[in-house]
């Protein structure tokens, strides 16, 4: 970028020898730029980059709480690979993540579609539907823990006594058949509004002429959705699905509060296993190996996602 003439004129004092060279090398706004960016750089280094590298090191050690770490290379990873409980946790994490994200995607599209249709009080409805996204997740998880309660929970009350759908109550979170579906349902409940609001923004940005042109060509509502709406929000969809995949895969609170991974490991996902290994079993090295086990996949996802997010901005 060339230096705007106005700027040079505004600060004639700076156009002496040294600073001209520096400005050419580091860019016209380098002083204010570095000044403003330094706090972020320090935070990123000390709160993310350093802990991240430290995590990789610790995952290659045998480390009990209170004892200095002993370097063991990839031993933790190798041991985990053949550990049946860990394997189950990996599978559970994938089931939890893709089950949740799939439903959130569908519900999000539905939410965006109804919010773009000609309704009254649009911002009221938008506001109501966004509440699960702003409410504290712990509160929501506790609410569902109470709703799902086997003996006094309102879900059983509704299904058994009010609607007579079930002959007797179900221990939603304590029975192996229903536990995973229940925690997935709570994750969907909490996460779908984010999908909806993002798709809504994308749909609003689609020019009305495209829909009019499609209508003139005789396209049905379904065809317009298929050929105008979906391509129009394609990029947002990719971004939101990838973001939510990362968030859901690493979601700790919902599962920790609802089941702690039970019954019998049926809902044990990797973040909860990390926590339990670190603070239950006190094996820190192994715990971090659990957290970092799928790092290559996470890194690829983050890189792809970051590209899409930056591309989305540059337009």
Partner 1 sequence: MRGRAAGVVERTVAYAVLTTLAILVLFPFYWMTVTSFKSEEQMRSLVSMFWPKPFATENYGQLLTKTEFTSWYGNSVFVAVSSTLLATAVGTLGAYALARLKFLGRGFMASATLITYLVPPSILFIPLYKQMQALGMANSLSGLIAAYPSFTVPFVTWLLMGYFESIPEELEEAAMIDGATRFGAFYRIVLPLSAPGVLAAGLYAFTQAWNEFLYALVFITDGRLRTLPVGLASFITGDVYGWGYLMSGAVLTTLPVIAAYIYLQKYMVDGLTAGGVKG
Beta bridge partners of 64: 283
* Binding of partner 1 by 26 (CB under 8 A): yes
- The residue from 112, 183, 197, 214 that contacts partner 1 (CB under 8 A) is 197
- The residue from 12, 18, 32, 165 that contacts partner 1 (CB under 8 A) is 32
Interactions with partner 1, residue window 238-257 (CB under 8 A): 239-240, 243, 246-247, 249-250, 252-253, 257
Report whether 255 contacts 261 (CB < 8 A).
Answer: yes
Determine whether 24 is exposed, middle or buried from the number of CB atoms within 10 Å of its CB (0-12, 13-18, 19+). Answer: exposed
Interactions with partner 1, residue window 43-62 (CB under 8 A): 43-44, 47-48, 50-52, 54-55, 58
What is 206-228 written as a DSSP string?
S-HHHHHHHHHTT--HHHHIIII
Number of residues that bind partner 1 (CB under 8 A): 109
What is the bridge-based pairing of β-strands 61-62 and 70-71? antiparallel
Sign of CA dihedral 248, 250, 253, 259: positive
Four-point Cα dihedral 225, 231, 237, 242, nearest 10: 140
- The residue from 21, 27, 176, 207 that contacts partner 1 (CB under 8 A) is 27
Binding string, residues 257-286; x marks residues near partner 1 by CB under 8 A = x------------xx--xx--xx----x--
Length of the chain: 315
Q: Which residues contact 30 (CB under 8 A, 6 or more apart)?
A: 22, 23
* Binding of partner 1 by 191 (CB under 8 A): no
Calpha distance 125→298 (Å, rounded): 35
- Smallest distance, partner 1 to C-beta of residue 141, A: 8
- Smallest distance, partner 1 to C-beta of residue 134, A: 5
- Structural tokens at position 48: 């993310």
Interactions with partner 1, residue window 217-236 (CB under 8 A): 221, 233-236
CB-nearer residue toward partner 1: 125 or 178:
125
* Binding of partner 1 by 189 (CB under 8 A): yes
Angle at 290 between CA 274 and CA 172, to 5 degrees: 50
Interactions with partner 1, residue window 87-116 (CB under 8 A): 107, 110-111, 113-115
Interactions with partner 1, residue window 120-159 (CB under 8 A): 123, 125-132, 134-140, 142-147, 152, 154, 157
- The residue from 101, 170, 184, 288 that contacts partner 1 (CB under 8 A) is 288
The label of the residue with tokens 């590298």 reads 53
- Among the residue ranges 84-92, 98-106, 163-171, 299-307, the one whose residues contact partner 1 (CB under 8 A): 299-307
Q: Which of left, alpha, beta for 305 (phi over 0: left; psi -120 to 50: alpha)?
A: alpha
- Smallest distance, partner 1 to C-beta of residue 160, A: 11
């Amino acid at each position: 970028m060339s230096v705007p003439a106005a700027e040079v004129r505004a600060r004639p004092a700076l156009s002496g020898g040294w600073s001209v060279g520096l400005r050419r090398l580091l860019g016209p706004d380098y002083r204010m730029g570095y000044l403003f960016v330094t706090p972020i750089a320090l935070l990123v280094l000390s709160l993310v980059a350093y802990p991240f590298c430290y995590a990789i090191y610790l995952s290659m050690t045998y480390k009990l709480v209170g004892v200095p770490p002993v370097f063991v290379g990839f031993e933790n990873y190798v041991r985990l690979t053949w550990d049946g409980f860990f394997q189950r946790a990996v599978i559970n994490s994938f089931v939890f993540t893709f089950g949740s994200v799939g439903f959130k995607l569908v519900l999000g599209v539905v939410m965006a579609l109804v919010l773009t249709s000609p309704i009254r009080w649009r911002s009221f409805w938008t506001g109501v539907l966004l509440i699960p996204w702003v409410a504290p997740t712990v509160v929501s998880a506790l609410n569902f823990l109470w709703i799902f309660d086997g003996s006094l929970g309102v879900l059983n009350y509704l299904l058994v006594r009010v609607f007579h759908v079930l002959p007797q109550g179900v221990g939603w979170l304590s029975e192996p058949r229903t536990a995973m579906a229940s925690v997935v349902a709570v994750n969907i409940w909490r996460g779908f509004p984010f999908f909806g609001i993002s798709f809504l923004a994308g749909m609003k940005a689609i020019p009305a002429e495209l829909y009019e042109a499609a209508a003139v060509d005789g396209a049905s509502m379904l065809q317009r959705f298929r050929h105008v709406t979906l391509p129009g929000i394609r990029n947002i969809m990719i971004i939101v699905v990838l973001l939510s995949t990362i968030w859901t895969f690493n979601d700790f609170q919902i599962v920790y509060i609802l089941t702690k991974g039970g019954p019998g490991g049926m809902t044990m996902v990797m973040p909860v296993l990390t926590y339990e290994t670190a603070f239950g079993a006190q094996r820190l090295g192994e715990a971090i190996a659990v957290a970092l086990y799928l790092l290559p996949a996470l890194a690829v996802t983050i890189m792809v996602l970051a590209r899409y997010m930056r591309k989305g901005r540059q337009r």
